[in-house]
Amino acid sequence: MKAADFSSNGEFLSRLAQLALEAGRVILDVYATEFAVSSKADNSPVTEADQRAEAVILAGLKALAPEIPVIAEEECAAGRMPETGARFFLVDPLDGTREFLARNGEFTVNIALIEAGVPIVGVVHAPALGVLYAGRPGHAFKAKVEGEALGDEIAIAVSSAPPHPRVVGSRSHGSPQTAEWLRRFPGHSFVSAGSSLKFCLLAEGAADLYPRHGRTMEWDTAAGDAVLRAAGGGVVTLDGAPLLYGKRRQAADSDFANPFFVAYGDPALAASIARLPDAAAS
């Protein structure tokens, strides 16, 4: 497959989706057992499911596009972080490990392709919920997982923001700063969700804003960001600048760490976010 085809070729997106399904099946195999839990150097939890799913994805991406480097969460935790150019993959084999441990189903497989700092293709698969979201420029869809295959694709798009926005936030990583920031939107409603599913709720028009005043890494957000962008939304930092990827050698943080951000559905909300007073200080 030619490099120029990656962002526009439906076959490429389909193959990423199939790879996410394979990883999801491995995760569910572990989910059905009494699995062990370990802690990484940053004290975040990791299980056999994270490791086995990442191995499946890495092997699949090597076969699909061996020339493109891959930044994957568990590889990075082990100190294996290849150099990247303008184009690279970001992989979180099991986003929402705390949701996995809580057995609430709200965990996902995330695979994204980055081009010049922008997530242009992404797949988010929630294996326990039996649903997959995917996007490439101009095309975003949702599909149920039927057995080992995807059902019919349903096109998704963001919705126009209502007067009182519907806000989605983290189920396991709430923040007092987020609660304070949301005072700017009196009358908003709020629902919690785990993992990158928050981006997908915006992408399918079921929510309007997702503010995040907490630590995330690029592999946590890239796939959901790609789906959201494909559906017509976006993600900005608190000063209104687009969230970019491939952040290395950061003076104030580690490689691939994100600043605080706000994801939105209706692009009109992006202008509102940038105009809000003291946004950068929240």
pLDDT at 282 over 50: no
Annotated binding-site residue? 97: yes
8 A C-beta contact, residue 86 and residue 116: yes
Which of 25, 212, 195, 219 minimizes the C-alpha distance to 98?
195
Q: Name the percent of the chain lying above pLDDT 90.
A: 71
3-state SS assignment for residue 224: helix
Determine the Cα–Cα distance for residues 121 and 64; give it in Å rounded to an integer: 14
Annotated binding-site residue? 152: no
Determine the Cα–Cα distance for residues 76 and 68; give it in Å rounded to an integer: 16
In order of their start, the domains of the chain are 3-155 (3.30.540.10), 166-281 (3.40.190.80)
The distance in angstroms from the start CA to the end CA of the chain is: 45
Backbone angles phi, psi at 63, to 5 degrees: -75, -35
pLDDT digits (tens, 9 = 90+) for 61-101: 999 999 999 999 999 998 999 999 999 999 999 999 889 99
Work out the number of other CB atoms within 10 angstroms of the CB of residue 163.
7
Determine the Cα–Cα distance for residues 231 and 157; give it in Å rounded to an integer: 4
Annotated binding-site residue? 237: no
pLDDT digits (tens, 9 = 90+) for 123-147: 999 999 999 999 999 999 999 998 8
Annotated binding-site residue? 33: no
pLDDT digits (tens, 9 = 90+) for 199-228: 999 999 999 999 999 899 999 999 999 999
Annotated binding-site residue? 95: yes
pLDDT for res 272: 77
Determine the Cα–Cα distance for residues 181 and 169; give it in Å rounded to an integer: 12
Annotated binding-site residue? 209: no
Annotated binding-site residue? 73: yes
